[in-house]
Chains A and B, each alone.
Chain A
Amino acid sequence: MNPNKSRRLAGRVHSGEAVISLSADRRDVAAGARAMVPWLAGIVPFGLVIGVSAARAHIPALAGWLTGPLIYAGSAQAATIGMLGAGAAPVVVVTSALIVNIRLVFYSATMARHWRGTPWWWRLVAAYLIVDPSVAVGLSGYRRLSRRRAHAHYLGGAVLLRVCWLAAIGVGATAGLTGRPDEPSLSSHPLQRTVEVRR
């Protein structure tokens, strides 16, 4: 690809440097993805549990899966699915999910200083990917690497996390719909014990 075109597509920070170039920064993208791999050991099982519970709750399975791309935070998704399945009032469900996710404001504050001066599209995309593991992996990059390399590092880890999370929820939902395995329920997950659901 023409490097000038690549830079135009990548956008520029105020200094004129491209915020990221997937071709030039692919090593850092890969490094970010590798840094995310250990996190998946805990995240993928949780995603499977959420998927199964979404399938078993009294809501459309697709709606349960959609909590993944839309809400994108395990504990808030679990609370939302559980409360919707139990017939809680919509306002209560939305309020509860937002209270559980209030920490995202703090993560936003943490990452904001690293994204100051970046193009608006980068901030929209990068913000969409904010969640506990992506912030952890991202911050480790911003501490060690130059800003541009750290952007790539963050993107690599965050995208891998997103893909695996949505896949885990999808697999869990499919398993929940098609079979009756020994059912891992949300109540067996430590995080769910913070949310009481009555069925």
Chain B
Amino acid sequence: MNTWIVIVAAGLGSYLFRLSMIILTSRITMPPSAERASGLVAPAAFAALAAAGVATACTGLGIIQAAAPLAAVAVAVIAVLRTGSPQAAILAGMPALWVATALLPN
């Protein structure tokens, strides 16, 4: 029973997080500076997630083993810079990761 309660509680809390600012901003007027800053939240969050993921992937690896995820990140960044499309990061980065992982020694 505890398992179900925990999952429902975590789900409810997560949904309230999703709804929180949507409800709040419908009731209060945000200052222009906050409005402008809200547009930067997603890029900042994505960059933080990506950096944390790369750091975690490289933790405990030697330089050669860490080259695979780092090379994939470099390919993804170049792809986005050249195309302007966020999807390019995945379309270029994922194959780069697979190829680099296959080619580099364990």
Interface residues of A (CB under 8 A from B): 35, 38-39, 41-42, 59-60, 63, 66-67, 69-73, 76, 80, 84, 90, 93-94, 97-98, 101-113, 115-116, 123-124, 127-128, 130, 132, 135-136, 139-140, 190-191, 193-194
Consensus secondary structure, chain B interface: helix
Nearest-Cβ distance from residue A58 to partner chain B, whole angstroms: 9
User: A140 and B86: CB pair below 8 A?
Assistant: yes
> Given the known A-B contacts A39-B87, A139-B42, A191-B53, are A94 and B17 also in contact in the complex, defined by CB atoms under 8 Å?
no
How many residues of B are counted as interface, with CB atoms below 8 angstroms from the partner's CB atoms? 43
* Contact of B7 with A128 in the complex, beta carbons under 8 Å: no
Q: How many A-B residue pairs have CB under 8 A?
A: 141
What secondary structure prevails in chain A residues at the interface with B? helix
B33 in contact (CB, < 8 A): no
Seen from chain B, the residues whose Cβ lies within 8 Å of a Cβ on chain A are 2-15, 17-26, 30, 35, 38-39, 41-42, 45-46, 49, 52-53, 56-57, 59, 86-87, 90-91, 94
